[in-house]
Amino acid sequence: MTLQSIRKAAIIGAGQMGLGIAYVSAVHAKIPITIYDPSSSVLSSATDKYKSLISRDVSKSRLTSEQADEALSRFSTSQGDGSEGGGEGSIRDDVDLVIEAIPEIPALKLGLFKRLGNALTPSTILGSNTSSISITKLAASAGSGMGKEESQESSQRVIGIHYFNPVPVMKLVEIIPALQTSQQTIERAKAFGKACKKEVTTSTDSPGFIANAILMPMINEAIMVLERGIASPQDIDKTFQLGMSHPMGPLKLADLIGLDTCLNIQRVLHTETGDSKYRPATLLGRMVDAGWVGRKGGRGFYVYD
């Protein structure tokens, strides 16, 4: 089997994960990328952040000014969700890989995969950066509304490609094949993860995969310890930083990931397993209701400038 390389990619969602994936694709894998988002202000803020990451690389001598110019020329944006039927804001068929990084809401991702599956040629890999949603369901959605053979072809190019926040720094990508995913898609996705200078692990399509089946219950338990008044956020975090050598404690990490994302992941674990041990902490839900979603919103368990 010759491995067809990825020459061009589209990333859907210009939030913190989408931007990070765009950065490692353009800077490390050295391929042109277009990042899609329905919001022009989110796109313009992502562009500013991308430029400042590149400037930082230059100031730290990780990139020469020539390499920085190349990295800047590989980055473009388009307003839309990438699946809008051929017009402005739609992904073109010359793209080898799409990575979706939209909010962790099952109905949104399923709808997007259905539209992408119908719009894009089956040789285009459809990757999802989901933290917990079933890749097998996304693959089924990408193959829905078409004949049996087309459906099989469309589903087998779907795969989980799960990065970690902050993407430019964290050295891992989890690869999650759906039941329907072809071996060629798996090999191409792994090769792409390595081209982004990441180590790669493989997980079966099980709720939370490897990382979030373990991490999210730990964060949820830390919130329950806070809720029960056992200790302050500072002491809970200090316990993990100094007692277990974690780079940051679970509450500060929850603020970094985004409390809305943590809640959505925990809900998927709970619903998919039906196990009450995964019930989201009440305080987590209340904080999201209050709009205290962590670092990106200026307030979570801590307050940010």
Residues flagged as binding site for NAD(+): 13-18, 37, 104, 109, 131, 165, 296
Question: Is 169 a residue that touches ligand CAA (CB under 6 A)?
Answer: yes
Cβ contact 41:14 at 8 Å = no
Active-site residue flag, 221: no
Least gap, CB of 3 to ligand CAA (angstroms): 27
Question: Is 124 a residue that touches ligand CAA (CB under 6 A)?
Answer: no
**Region of 28-36, 183-191, 209-217, 274-282 interacting with ligand CAA (CB under 6 A):** 209-217
Q: Rounded CA gap, 216 and 296, in Å?
A: 19
Question: Is 212 a residue that touches ligand CAA (CB under 6 A)?
Answer: yes
Choosing from 174, 182, 203, 220, the catalytic residue is: 174
For ligand CAA, which residue of 248, 271, 275, 277 counts as binding (CB under 6 A)?
248
Least gap, CB of 211 to ligand CAA (angstroms): 6
Question: Is 274 a residue that touches ligand CAA (CB under 6 A)?
Answer: no
Do the strands 33-37 and 199-202 form a parallel or antiparallel pair, or are they unpaired?
A: unpaired
Choosing from 25, 78, 90, 131, the catalytic residue is: 131
* Binding-site size, ligand CAA (CB under 6 A): 15
Instruction: Report the SS3 class of residue 8.
Output: coil
Active-site residue flag, 55: no
Which residues in the 43-82 window bind ligand CAA by CB under 6 A?
60
**Binding string, residues 131-150; x marks residues near ligand CAA by CB under 6 A:** x-------------------
Measured on CA atoms in the order 182, 147, 108, 270, is the torsion positive or negative? negative
Q: Which residue's CB is nearer to ligand CAA, number 149 or number 305? A: 305
- The residue type of 293 is V
Instruction: Report the SS3 class of residue 190.
Output: helix
CA distances (Å), origin 254, targets 229, 277, 299? 18, 19, 11
Cβ contact 108:128 at 8 Å = no
Do the strands 125-128 and 172-177 form a parallel or antiparallel pair, or are they unpaired?
A: unpaired
For ligand CAA, which residue of 32, 38, 122, 166 counts as binding (CB under 6 A)?
166
Residue closest to 129 by CA, chosen among 154, 163, 103: 163
Sheet strands side by side (includes 75-79): 75-79, 33-37, 9-12, 97-100, 125-128, 158-163, 172-177, 199-202
**Active-site annotation, residues:** 131, 162, 174, 212
**Contacts to ligand CAA by CB under 6 A:** 60, 131, 164-166, 168-170, 211-212, 215, 247-248, 253, 257
